């Protein structure tokens, strides 16, 4: 079964296993599939009769072939192992299904077996978090003999020096949570892609994954491939997710969003008067900080202090004021959480006569509490009525942007959901997010904060890449850990975002680094208290109207990391090319000045093509010949813009 330019799957119909080679080199060996169905472990290796069928397929991935291996055995449900191959993609997709009478499973492994050792010095196994809650980090862990680790939804093992690696992960998230386990051996390594993965530290679940039932049960489609550059492979994986599960929300075609969010500094002290002053600052002091003709003024949590007895008129007045200044008003909400659960179960939720206690998600005899909030069942009519009520009010106020938060509360596994057809956390998430999107009605730019990293791509235009980063160099490094290893999500969403950029009382070098952490992510949302004056005021006027920086974010896409061996830290160097402009972002997270000697080949920059170079954030000297040399002060950053011939 050929795929890509020189990929080949060799399936052995006698053994129920297959090998994969790419460019004449074996990558995967002895791969098989298994599942636990009705309590029995069923493996492709244990069935007696295997037949192969091929049919042409045309879908979002292009024209290709659908290869179906039909496996049968007396007394066992019919098993199908399906492969989707395309000449235009250097990967294939595979899935597993069973057909029979009243089947049930919460554990399917579409890919199990070995992959060849990657023979270079610095080999890493990448841990990808399920979400961006609890300040969790990506982790590029050393992959040496004895290593065994899990990753959520997708896993990658690669050599940082050569960049060669393998990638496997789910591209469907409407039913299953998926884990990828990798294990290092002497000559070959083990991989297991597991649908039905839960872990309290990663997926937040305290109970096992829900089961799916029916006469046919199916795993998610799994992306599998070997790549000469793991970064290109991860970008292909990000794009594949958007193809496999196209957006449910309308596509964003307006310019890259820029603006302000109140949680950066003002937080719970938000008020009508302060927001008016922020809008005035945008209108009078930074009129050039725009993409297209507008910027967003976004109210975060505690805007409800401007609402009295269900009277939203003050919020509407504020939204109208922003529009009068040529700005777009934004708002915030967490649709699947009950922050007041300490007040008891008998409180009545907005939008109906439903009690919160009846709406709480039931988990293991208790409830799901995280971040101080209790999860609500997305399928419950009370949750839906509350969503319809609040979103209706916010739409009537005229808000054109909404930041939705704590979405992971809607994806937790439950003993049972109100809707009996929903049996897994991801099915509940799909139901809740589709209902929320329908209520929004295409009126707003939708921005996800804390949320599942991959499943949220169908429902929002923009997603925070990390979680609540503010002003310090440590915040910058934390944010850029997520960009270093999750930048590829720029192809799953219209935009990924670095959260509120705060200057506040930090040194200007730290300000530059925090600003650059947003620019390399692709968007630009300020978080300073612009209702008052401080040392940040002059700096914001300076940087926020820089035409080169505004031109950079118009592209809206993230930079690519140069190195992938920093563990839970972050790459110091990021690159992006737009047309004949090559951008180089360099950050020094340390407390001492640092000299950088960078390989132009490693950066992907042909120094012979350089017509001119400009440092955009500060006057910082750079020299180049066959390589790039520069020096940065402690806790500082620089952005170089090369114009190519």
Positions of CATH 3.20.20.70 in the chain: 258-559
Summarised one tens digit per residue, pLDDT across range 613-622 is: 999 999 888 9
Q: Which two tokens stand for residue 529?
A: 């208290």
**What is the model's pLDDT at position 431?**
98
When pLDDT is cut at 50, 70 and 90, the band that residue 293 belongs to is: confident
226 - beta bridge partners?
166
User: What is the bridge-based pairing of β-strands 25-37 and 2-3?
Assistant: unpaired
Cβ-Cβ contacts under 8 Å for 96 (sequence gap 6 or more): 33, 35, 79, 80, 81, 82, 108, 109, 110, 218, 219
**What is the model's pLDDT at position 373?**
97
- For 258-559, which CATH superfamily applies? Aldolase class I (3.20.20.70)
Q: If you average pLDDT over residues 553-575, what whole number do you get?
A: 97
Tell me if 44 sits within 8 A of 38, measured CB to CB. no
What's the distance, Cα to Cα, between the start and end of the chain in Å?
43
**CATH tag for 2-244 (out of 2.70.98.10, 3.90.470.20, 2.60.40.2130, 1.10.760.10):** 2.70.98.10
How far CA 17 is from CA of 115, 178, 324, in Å, comes to: 13, 22, 66
**What is the model's pLDDT at position 451?**
98
Q: How far apart are CA 572 and CA 558, in angstroms?
A: 15
Does the pLDDT of residue 232 top 80, yes or no?
A: yes
Summarised one tens digit per residue, pLDDT across range 89-118 is: 999 999 999 999 999 999 999 999 999 988
Summarised one tens digit per residue, pLDDT across range 55-65 is: 999 999 999 99
Mean residue pLDDT of the chain comes to 96
Q: Under DSSP, is residue 517 helix (H, G, I), strand (E, B) or coil?
A: helix
Summarised one tens digit per residue, pLDDT across range 478-504 is: 999 999 999 999 999 999 999 889 999
Positions of CATH 2.70.98.10 in the chain: 2-244
Q: Under DSSP, is residue 35 helix (H, G, I), strand (E, B) or coil?
A: strand
Helices (H), 144-221: none
Q: How far apart are CA 82 and CA 97, in angstroms?
A: 8
Q: Under DSSP, is residue 277 helix (H, G, I), strand (E, B) or coil?
A: helix
Q: If you average pLDDT over residues 536-554, what whole number do you get?
A: 96
Phi-psi region of 62 (alpha: psi -120 to 50; beta: other; left: phi over 0): left
When pLDDT is cut at 50, 70 and 90, the band that residue 281 belongs to is: very high
Q: If you average pLDDT over residues 611-637, what whole number do you get?
A: 94
Q: Which of 65, 110, 92, 88 is nearest to 226 (CA)?
A: 92
Positions of CATH 2.60.40.1180 in the chain: 561-644
When pLDDT is cut at 50, 70 and 90, the band that residue 626 belongs to is: confident
Tell me if 416 sits within 8 A of 377, measured CB to CB. no
- For the beta carbon of residue 292, count every other beta carbon within 10 angstroms: 12
Q: How far apart are CA 237 and CA 488, in angstroms?
A: 8
Q: Which two tokens stand for residue 327?
A: 């700005």
**What is the model's pLDDT at position 117?**
84
Summarised one tens digit per residue, pLDDT across range 349-387 is: 999 999 999 999 999 889 999 999 999 999 999 999 999
How far CA 316 is from CA of 379, 436, 535, in Å, comes to: 30, 21, 32
Does the pLDDT of residue 625 top 90, yes or no?
A: no
Q: How far apart are CA 392 and CA 31, in angstroms?
A: 51
Does the pLDDT of residue 464 top 80, yes or no?
A: yes
Using only the alpha carbons of the chain, give its radius of gyration.
Answer: 25
Q: Describe the strand order of the beta sheet including 369-370 as a list of residue ranges.
A: 337-338, 373-375, 369-370
How far from the centroid of its chain's Cα atoms is residue 447's Cα? Answer: 12
Q: Which of 566, 632, 624, 635 is nearest to 595 (CA)?
A: 632
Does the pLDDT of residue 465 top 90, yes or no?
A: yes
Does the pLDDT of residue 7 top 90, yes or no?
A: yes
**CATH tag for 561-644 (out of 3.40.50.720, 2.60.40.1180, 3.60.15.10, 3.30.365.10):** 2.60.40.1180
Phi, psi of 114 (to 5 degrees): -115, 155
- Count of alpha carbons within 13 angstroms of residue 549, beta-carbon side: 28
How far CA 512 is from CA of 473, 485, 496, 592, in Å, comes to: 10, 22, 19, 16
Summarised one tens digit per residue, pLDDT across range 507-539 is: 999 999 999 999 999 999 999 999 999 999 999
List % helix, strand, coil for the chain (3-state, nearest 5). 25, 35, 40
Summarised one tens digit per residue, pLDDT across range 178-230 is: 999 999 988 789 999 999 999 999 999 999 999 999 999 999 999 999 999 99
Report DSSP state, residue 624.
E
Q: Which two tokens stand for residue 634?
A: 């402690």
Q: If you average pLDDT over residues 432-446, what whole number do you get?
A: 97
How far CA 238 is from CA of 168, 308, 480, 487, in Å, comes to: 12, 44, 18, 9
Q: Which of 113, 230, 108, 120 is nearest to 166 (CA)?
A: 230
């Amino acid at each position: 079964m050929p795929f890509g330019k020189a990929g080949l799957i060799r399936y052995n119909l006698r053994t129920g296993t297959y090998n994969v080679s790419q460019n004449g080199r074996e990558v995967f060996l002895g791969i098989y599939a298994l599942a636990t169905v009705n309590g029995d472990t069923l493996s492709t290796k244990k069935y007696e009769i295997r037949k192969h069928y091929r049919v042409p397929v045309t879908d979002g991935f292009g024209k290709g072939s659908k290869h179906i291996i039909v496996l049968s055995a007396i007394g066992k449900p019919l098993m199908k192992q399906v492969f989707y191959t395309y000449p235009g993609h250097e990967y294939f997709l595979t899935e597993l299904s069973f057909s029979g009478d009243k089947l049930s499973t919460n554990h399917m492994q579409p890919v199990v077996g070995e992959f060849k050792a990657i023979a270079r010095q610095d080999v890493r196994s990448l841990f990808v978090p399920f979400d961006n809650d609890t300040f969790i980090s990506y982790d590029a862990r050393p992959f040496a003999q004895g290593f065994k680790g899990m990753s959520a939804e997708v896993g990658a093992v690669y050599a940082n020096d050569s960049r060669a690696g393998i990638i496997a992960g789910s591209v469907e998230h409407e039913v299953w949570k998926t884990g990828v386990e990798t294990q290092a051996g002497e000559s070959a390594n083990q991989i297991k892609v597991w649908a039905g993965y839960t872990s309290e530290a990663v997926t937040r679940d305290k109970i096992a994954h829900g089961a799916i039932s029916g006469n046919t049960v199916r795993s998610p489609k799994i992306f599998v491939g070997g790549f000469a550059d793991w970064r290109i492979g991860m970008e292909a994986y990000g794009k594949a997710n958007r193809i496999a599960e196209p957006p449910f929300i309308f596509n964003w075609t307006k310019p890259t969003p820029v603006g302000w969010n109140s949680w950066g500094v003002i937080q719970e002290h938000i008020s009508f008067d302060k927001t008016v002053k922020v809008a005035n600052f945008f209108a009078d002091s930074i009129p050039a900080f725009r993409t297209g003709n507008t910027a967003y003024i976004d109210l975060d949590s505690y805007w409800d202090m401007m609402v009295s007895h269900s009277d939203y008129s003050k919020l509407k007045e504020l939204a109208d004021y922003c529009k009068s200044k040529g700005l777009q008003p934004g708002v915030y909400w967490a649709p699947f959480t009950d922050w007041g659960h300490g007040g008891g179960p008998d409180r009545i939720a907005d939008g109906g006569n439903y009690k919160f206690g009846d709406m709480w998600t039931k988990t293991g005899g208790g409830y799901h509490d995280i971040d101080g909030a209790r999860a609500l069942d997305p399928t419950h009519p009370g949750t839906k009525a509350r969503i319809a009520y609040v979103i209706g009010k916010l739409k009537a106020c005229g808000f054109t942007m909404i930041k939705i938060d704590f979405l992971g509360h809607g994806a937790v596994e439950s003993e049972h959901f109100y809707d009996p057809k929903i049996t897994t956390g991801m099915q509940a998430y799909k139901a809740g997010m589709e209902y929320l999107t329908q209520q929004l009605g295409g009126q707003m730019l939708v921005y996800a904060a804390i949320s599942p990293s991959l499943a949220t791509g169908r429902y929002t235009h923009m997603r925070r890449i990390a979680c609540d980063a503010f002003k310090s160099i440590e915040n910058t490094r934390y944010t850029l850990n997520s960009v270093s290893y999750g930048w590829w999500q720029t192809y799953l969403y219209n935009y990924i975002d670095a959260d509120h950029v705060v200057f506040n009382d930090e040194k200007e070098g730290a300000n530059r680094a925090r600003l650059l952490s947003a620019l390399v992510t692709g968007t630009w949302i300020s978080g300073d208290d612009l209702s008052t004056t401080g040392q940040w005021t002059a700096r914001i006027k300076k940087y926020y109207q820089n035409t080169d920086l505004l031109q950079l974010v118009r592209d809206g896409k993230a930079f690519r990391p140069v190195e992938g061996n920093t563990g839970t830290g972050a790459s110091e160097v990021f690159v992006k090319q737009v047309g004949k402009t090559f951008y180089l972002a360099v950050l020094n997270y340390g407390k001492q000045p640092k000299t950088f000697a960078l390989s132009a080949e490693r950066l992907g920059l042909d120094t012979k093509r350089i017509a001119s170079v400009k440092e955009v954030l500060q006057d910082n000297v750079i020299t180049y010949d066959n390589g790039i040399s520069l020096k940065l002060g402690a806790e500082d950053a620089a952005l170089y813009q090369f114009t190519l011939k």
